[in-house]
Amino acid sequence: MEFTAQQIAELINGTVEGDTNQVIRDVSKIEEGRPETLTFLANPKYEQHIYNTEASVVIVNNNFKPEKPIKTTLIRVEDAYQALAKLLQLYESSLPKKTGIEQPSFINQSALMGDFVYIGAFAYISEKAKIGNNVQIWPGAFVGEDVEVGDDTIIYSGVKIYKHCKIGNSCIIHAGAVIGSDGFGFAPGPDGEYQKIPQVGNVILEDLVEIGANTTVDRATMGSTIVRKGAKIDNLVQIAHNVEIGANTVIAAQTGIAGSTKIGKNCMFGGQIGVAGHLKIADQVKVAAQSGIGKSVVKDGTVLMGSPAMDAMQYNKSYVMFRKLPAIYQQLQEIEKKVSEK
């Protein structure tokens, strides 16, 4: 990797302030900047680092106004974070990609394999599986019977994809994720024992979905558990049977979504959120971390916080009162004491 500041600016539609010929050979965090590296400033909390960073070039927003002299070259863009993302995507796409089939691995003779596929050692491809073009299946992954994997998808080490599941194009499934395990379905009997309800559905991941490490997406009891196009699921998330996640929705780590809940598109869920089953969540809903959702959300764009979750503004007002409860209680005790003394 070696580019000049001007070449980088042309890639991200930016404007250079400083040395257009400054050479960049690597990237760095702004607080750990090194000479001949590129970094960025998008969050104002990190602004103090731009005045002493050793990074040679910093990508900043067009509206950034320095309060002190800056010794580094700037590239001004509309959105620094998106510009950096674009650069890193270009860099990653330029790296050589693995192809070929490593041994030992197992590919059933009935499986259909696309062109330029990479199958890592100890991977297992079951009967009737269909693997698209440019797919990467890393060592130790399991692809079950009749599974379909779309073009340009990456399946990392240790991923398990159970039978009949369908994975779209350009998906990424990180290490340890399990796609299509049984939903948690049991019927209580008269003797108190639970009888397992067979889970005969599947999981569908549409195009451009990313599933984090050690996340589980359970197969449907009947029909499909669906993660719609462009959704991004973090590590350690539990998605139960017959759930539907809307397009371009993002869900942070340790969130659990109970069965048959439907979440709309373009929603944003923080970490450690609990969502009860059989609910409907509208589009563009935002939920703060550690919230608990126990009822459906019908209004698009709602912002929720707390457990049980409520409107974020109401929660903040309530929390102010909650913090005052010890003082209020003390005042009540003093009033009771004065009343009793009369």
Q: Cα separation of 105 and 30, whole Å?
A: 43
Query: Does the annotation mark 241 as catalytic?
Result: yes
Q: Per-residue confidence at 228, pLDDT binned at 50, 70, 90?
A: very high
Mark which of 78, 94, 110 sits at the end of a domain: 94
Decide if 173 contacts 159 (C-beta within 8 A).
Answer: yes
Based on the fold, state whether residues 176 and 265 are members of the same structural domain: yes
Q: Cα separation of 170 and 191, whole Å?
A: 49
Closest of 266, 293, 289 to residue 280, by C-alpha: 293
Q: Report the 10 Å Cβ neighbour count for 43.
A: 10
Mark which of 94, 121, 143 sits at the end of a domain: 94
Q: Cα separation of 333 and 340, whole Å?
A: 10
Structural domain including 237 reads 159-308
Using left for φ > 0, alpha for ψ between -120 and 50, and beta otherwise, residue 313 falls in alpha
Which has more pLDDT, 284 or 68? 284
Residue 254 counted as domain residue = yes
CATH number of domain containing 56: 3.40.1390.10
- Give the type of residue at 123: A
Residue 102 counted as domain residue = no
Residue 328 counted as domain residue = no
Based on the fold, state whether residues 175 and 304 are members of the same structural domain: yes
What are residue 335's phi and psi, to 5 degrees? Answer: -65, -45
Q: pLDDT digit string (tens) for 318-334?
A: 888 888 888 888 888 88
Residue 140 counted as domain residue = no
Decide if 139 contacts 120 (C-beta within 8 A).
Answer: yes
CATH number of domain containing 167: 2.160.10.10
For the cut 90, the answer to whether the pLDDT of residue 167 exceeds it is yes
Q: Cα separation of 83 and 6, whole Å?
A: 14
Q: Give the distance, in angstroms, between the CA of residue 281 and the centroid of all CA atoms in the same chain.
A: 18
For the cut 80, the answer to whether the pLDDT of residue 342 exceeds it is no
Domain count across the chain? 2
Q: pLDDT digit string (tens) for 105-146?
A: 999 999 999 999 999 999 999 999 999 999 999 999 999 999
Based on the fold, state whether residues 300 and 177 are members of the same structural domain: yes
| pLDDT above 70 as % of the chain | 99
Based on the fold, state whether residues 75 and 201 are members of the same structural domain: no
Encoded tokens for 187: 């019927």
Through-space distance between the first and last CA atoms of the chain, rounded to whole angstroms = 84
For the cut 80, the answer to whether the pLDDT of residue 1 exceeds it is no
Residue 144 counted as domain residue = no
In the set 49, 164, 174, 241, the catalytic residue is 241
Q: Cα separation of 231 and 208, whole Å?
A: 7
Run of H or E residues at 340: helix 312-341
Based on the fold, state whether residues 181 and 281 are members of the same structural domain: yes
Residue 82 counted as domain residue = yes
Q: Give the distance, in angstroms, between the CA of residue 109 and the centroid of all CA atoms in the same chain.
A: 35
CB-facing half-sphere around the CA of 220: CA atoms within 13 A: 19
Run of H or E residues at 342: none
